[in-house]
Amino acid sequence: MTTRYTITALVENRPGVLNRVVSIFRRPGLNLDSLTVGRTDRPEVSRMTMVLEGSKADAQHVKRELNRLIHVITVEDMNGTPYVTRDLALIKVKATPDTKSEILQMCGHYRARIADVAASSILIEIVGEEPDIEGLAALLKPFGIIEMVRAGVVAMGRAENILDTHCERSSWAEQRFPLEKAS
């Protein structure tokens, strides 16, 4: 049985780390449905959110192997804890004077923003959970989606479910990667 697993990780912000992480999924032929990486409040630490469509064993395997990587600081499987997810999509949809108001109405319903308006198209920006984005995309489809891009899912646990960022910078790290170089 396949489920969607949302796995978050804190990793060192260094060359090649993404490759190492992605290799864990590639080796047994697992597909990463979504992957986001970005810096945290600490420039030397990046945070990744990975969405895996797979079995429980797949998720356990990924978590185990990620933990073995030297550059991976913390790994959490978010399933089973309360958490918030957000994805962002840009959707360029065909629009004529006849359809424009209907499209704008739908966007209002989904709290989507209009990022750009052109003569024959509207560029819509939506932030929300994946079902919101997929719901709006489905509604817009009959009007003609010209192109669509998604940023990928980011996730964060609610309240006390914190991915620990409190590892102190060691004296070794201070020597090896002076901060002005890391940033």
Contact 8, 49 (CB under 8 A): yes
Select from 1, 118, 175, 180 the one that contacts another protein (CB under 8 A).
Answer: 175
Among 43, 49, 40, 42, which Cα is nearest to 18's?
49
* CA gap 12, 176 in Å, rounded: 13
Q: Which residue has the tokens 């499209």?
A: 103
* CA gap 135, 106 in Å, rounded: 10
Query: Mask 5-44, x = binds another protein (CB under 8 A)?
Result: ------xx--xx--xx--x---x-----------------
Helix (H, G, I), strand (E, B), or coil: what is residue 100? helix
* CA gap 108, 102 in Å, rounded: 10
Is 166 a binder of another protein (CB under 8 A)? no
How near is the Cβ of 19 to another protein at its closest, in Å?
A: 7
Helix (H, G, I), strand (E, B), or coil: what is residue 99? coil
* Closest CB to another protein among residues 60, 81: 60
Helix (H, G, I), strand (E, B), or coil: what is residue 28? coil
How near is the Cβ of 65 to another protein at its closest, in Å?
A: 7
Six-digit token string for 44? 């030397």
Is 163 a binder of another protein (CB under 8 A)? no
How near is the Cβ of 39 to another protein at its closest, in Å?
A: 15
Six-digit token string for 98? 């006849």
* Closest CB to another protein among residues 6, 46: 46
Is 183 a binder of another protein (CB under 8 A)? no
Instruction: Please list the residues that pair with 3 across neighbouring strands.
Output: 54
Is 96 a binder of another protein (CB under 8 A)? no
Select from 3, 60, 81, 101 the one that contacts another protein (CB under 8 A).
Answer: 60
Number of shown-chain residues binding another protein (CB under 8 A) = 27
Q: Which of residues 63-82 bind another protein (CB under 8 A)?
A: 64-65, 67-74
What is the binding site for another protein (CB under 8 A)? Answer: 11-12, 15-16, 19-20, 23, 27, 45, 60, 64-65, 67-74, 167, 170-173, 175-176
